[in-house]
A and B are shown apart, each in its own frame.
Chain A
Amino acid sequence: MLIGDPIDTVLNLGAFAFIGAMIWLIMRKEPDKPE
């Protein structure tokens, strides 16, 4: 079977989500200053 280990898949999806979040943090507009 070519189906992978589920824990492995979940951890890797976590890594993808992390990479996505980092790209979003770099690209997102600067939040409005509180004052």
Chain B
Amino acid sequence: MQSSRLLLATSLSLCAVIGIWGVVDPAGLLALAKTIVDQYFFSRGWFVMLSVTIMLLFCLGLTFTRFGDLRLGKDTDRPEYSTPTWIAMLFAAGMGVGLLFWAVAEPLTHFYFAKDALPAPLAAEQALLAANFNWGIHAWAIYGTTALTIAYFSFRRGTPMLVSAPVKNLFPGETWATVVGWMSDFMAIAAIAIGVGGSVAMGVYQVADGVSILTGGETATPFMIGAVFLVMVAAYIPPLLVDLGSGMARLSNIAMCLAIGLVAYTIILGPTEYLMNSIISGIGLYVAEVVPRGLQTFTFFGDEANRWFQDWTLTYMVWWIAWGPFVGVFVARISRGRTIREFVLGVLIGPTLFSTIWFGAFGGVGLFEALNGQGELLAMTQTNVERMTFALLDRLPLSTITTLATIAAAFLFIVTSVVSAAFVLGMFSTGGNPNPSSKVRVIWGVLLGILGAAMILSGSAQAMKTLIALGALPFVLITGLLLTCLIRALMLDSRTEAANADR
């Protein structure tokens, strides 16, 4: 208990210091974060890309082996949630608000970058491919690996749901395992807190912008951003006081239905044939390029392409790693009773298919406007990237309703993320207690709010990404360690089973 108190106090202090620093001196914090992240990215881009590719190949490889038949839980356990609800929940936890934010903005930003170097059609294809890659199967392989490891150890070896549990379980009583385990829990807490703080900030921008469009304002004023932020904090504090129950599942499902509704609306009312072609050719190119792209580091393309690679793909990969412990624990919790094969295919394929459809449609309509229209959306990538999703909806009929739906979806995605993150953080910081007290949960909720405020004050979306990446850096190593533990546990357990079968 002593150790978990120390863990709680240390991690709370670190998050509070970063939060206060960000409020008092945002430029200083950002400069430091940028220096560290740049140095790391400059030195170890290959390592990050290699790691995520190994995770992807490992997860897919498992489904072809007999380990794929192993059940996460007792052999008699069956899944708690239906597959569509399960996928909706893990999608809402893993990506959610970011997809709303970047739906049009990301493919068009890539297109803007590529259009000077490549002919327009090729630039459009590559822009869509880059967005699909950044939000694609590699992200889910990172989540899948973390979740699979925590689920395997928790449900088959009976450990608490902590990041440190696999290491401590496999190497009991060894000093290094105790130290590394403690550090892992500590760094997981920091990574989740900073990652979710960044997500809160992005969501606040999105919602504030939507509200100011509805009220006829030009851009979201600082007052509007502050007001939305306060409403959001007020909305997520009450659910922290009560049990999660099935409420979280319902909220995720509603948010997901809104997102599906938005994409369907855009495909049907937009240039339907063009968008369907865009989705299908996007999927085709992605499938063909997925593995080589995962190992592409743009070394020979000069400084500008290198900078682009670090600012986007590499930052995304590190960002998913930052979310790994949170999404991993959440996905592990909702996946009890599934076989490893079901788990891997569900976690990797389902959400990836959705995001390729999402970018094919929203990116496709943005590219349609850039290639065949006035190029107004394309110009916005350089001026007001936060507003692009709304600007697109404004060019389709019934924009008031779709804008409201987008605001509601963004709001729900953030509320569910913060509530579940505060819950998971509470679990982590009290030694794996599956039901942390409401006091601990509310403290985390407030801290996530402070971190969110720090990131709002730090300015642009790019700044937030840098801060999120900073929180995630240590976790690149911890995720590798978790994968190692899973491989070793599978080997040891299969050896034990073989020995038992021989008896």
Please give the residue numbers on chain A whose beta carbons come within 8 Å of chain B beta carbons, in ascending order: 7-8, 11-12, 15, 18, 22, 25-26, 30-31, 34
Q: How far is the CB of B32 from chain A (nearest CB, A)?
A: 16
Q: Is the CB of B43 within 8 A of A7?
A: yes
**Is the pair B480, A12 in contact by a Cβ cutoff of 8 Å?**
no
Question: Does A11 contact B481, Cβ atoms closer than 8 Å?
Answer: no
Bound complex: CA of A12 vs CA of B481, how far in Å?
Answer: 17
Chain B residue at minimum C-beta to C-beta distance from A34: B173
Q: Are A25 and B488 in contact (CB under 8 A)?
A: yes
C-alpha gap A25/B47 in the complex (Å): 19
B172 contacts partner chain A, Cβ-Cβ < 8 Å: yes
Knowing A18-B477, A25-B488, A30-B492 are in contact, say whether A12-B174 is a contact too (CB < 8 A). no
> Does B39 touch A at the CB level, under 8 Å?
yes
Cβ of B74 within 8 Å of any chain A Cβ, yes or no, is: no
In the assembled complex, B487 has its CB within 8 A of some CB on chain A:
yes
Q: Are A15 and B491 in contact (CB under 8 A)?
A: no
**Bound complex: CA A22 to CA B487 (Å):** 10
Roughly how many angstroms separate A11 CA and B483 CA in the complex, as a whole number? 21
- If A22-B481, A26-B487 are given as contacts, then 8 extra A-B residue pairs at C-beta distance below 8 Å, sorted by A number, are A8-B43, A11-B43, A11-B44, A15-B44, A18-B480, A25-B481, A25-B488, A26-B484
Cβ-closest chain A residue relative to B477:
A18
A26 touches which one: B171, B173, B488 (CB < 8 A)? B488
Question: Shortest beta-carbon distance, B390 to chain A, in Å?
Answer: 41
Mask: chain B, 165-196; 1 = CB below 8 Å from A; 0 = not:
00000011110000000000000000000000
A22 touches B484 (CB 8 A): yes
B174 touches A31 (CB 8 A): yes
Q: Contact at B488–A12, with CB atoms within 8 Å? A: no
- In the bound assembly, the distance between CA atoms of A12 and B44 in angstroms comes to 7
Q: In whole angstroms, what is the CA distance A7 to B42 when docked? A: 10
Interface size class of chain B, counting residues whose CB lies under 8 Å from the partner chain: 20 to 34
A11 to chain B, nearest CB (A): 4
Q: A22-B480, A22-B481, A26-B484 are in contact. Are A11 and B39 (CB under 8 A)?
A: yes
Would you list the 9 A-B pairs with minimal beta carbon distance, nearest first?
Answer: A11-B43, A22-B484, A15-B47, A8-B43, A25-B484, A26-B488, A26-B487, A15-B44, A26-B484
Chain B residues whose C-beta falls within 8 Å of the C-beta of A31 in the assembled complex = 171-172, 174
The docked-state distance in angstroms from the alpha carbon of A34 to that of B174 is 11
Contact partners of A18 in chain B: CB under 8 A: 477, 480
Q: Which residues of A contact B354 (CB under 8 A)?
A: none
- B43, A12: Cβ atoms closer than 8 Å: yes
B residues near A11, Cβ cutoff 8 Å: 39-40, 43-44
Residues on the A chain within 8 Å of B485, using CB = 25
Report whether B42 and A8 are in contact in the complex, using a CB–CB cutoff of 8 Å.
Answer: yes
Q: Which residue of A lies closest to B491 (CB)?
A: A26
Chain B contacts for A25, CB-based, 8 A? 481, 484-485, 488
List the A residue with the shortest CB-CB distance to B40: A11
Output the least CB separation between B299 and chain A (Å): 13
**Please, which residues of chain A bring their CB within 8 A of the CB of B484?**
22, 25-26
Are A34 and B47 interface neighbours, CB within 8 A?
no
Contacts of B491 in A (CB 8 A): 26
Residues of A within 8 A of B42 (CB): 8
Residues on the A chain within 8 Å of B47, using CB: 12, 15
Contact present for B172 and A34 (CB under 8 Å): yes
User: Nearest CB to that of A4 among chain B residues?
Assistant: B43
Q: How many whole Å from A31's CB to the nearest CB in chain B?
A: 7
The smallest beta-carbon distance between A2 and chain B, in angstroms, is 15
| Cα–Cα distance between A11 and B38 once the two chains are bound (Å) | 13
With A and B bound together, what is the CA distance between A11 and B40 in angstroms? 8
Closest beta carbon of chain B to A28's beta carbon, Å: 9
Could you tell me the distance in whole angstroms from the C-beta of A9 to the nearest C-beta in chain B? 9
Q: Which residues of A contact B483 (CB under 8 A)?
A: 22
Residues of chain B with a CB closer than 8 A to A22's CB:
480-481, 483-484
Complex Cα gap A16–B483 (Å): 17
A residues near B480, Cβ cutoff 8 Å: 18, 22
Q: Report B450-503 residues with CB < 8 Å from chain A CB.
A: 477, 480-481, 483-485, 487-488, 491-492
A12 nearest in chain B by CB position: B43
8 inter-chain pairs at a CB distance below 8 angstroms, sorted by A residue, are: A7-B39, A7-B43, A8-B42, A11-B40, A11-B43, A18-B480, A25-B485, A34-B173
Question: How close is A13's CB to chain B, nearest CB, in angstroms?
Answer: 10
For A15, what are the chain B residues with a Cβ–Cβ distance below 8 Å? 44, 47
Per the bound structure, the CA–CA distance linking A26 and B483 in Å amounts to 10
Contacts of B477 in A (CB 8 A): 18
Question: Which of B39, B47, B481, B492 has the most chain A CB atoms closer than 10 A to its own CB?
Answer: B47
Q: How far is the CA of A34 from the CA of B42 in the complex (A)?
A: 44
The smallest beta-carbon distance between A10 and chain B, in angstroms, is 9
In angstroms, Cα B217 to Cα A9, docked, is 52
Q: How far does the alpha carbon of A22 sit from the alpha carbon of B488 in the complex, in Å?
A: 10
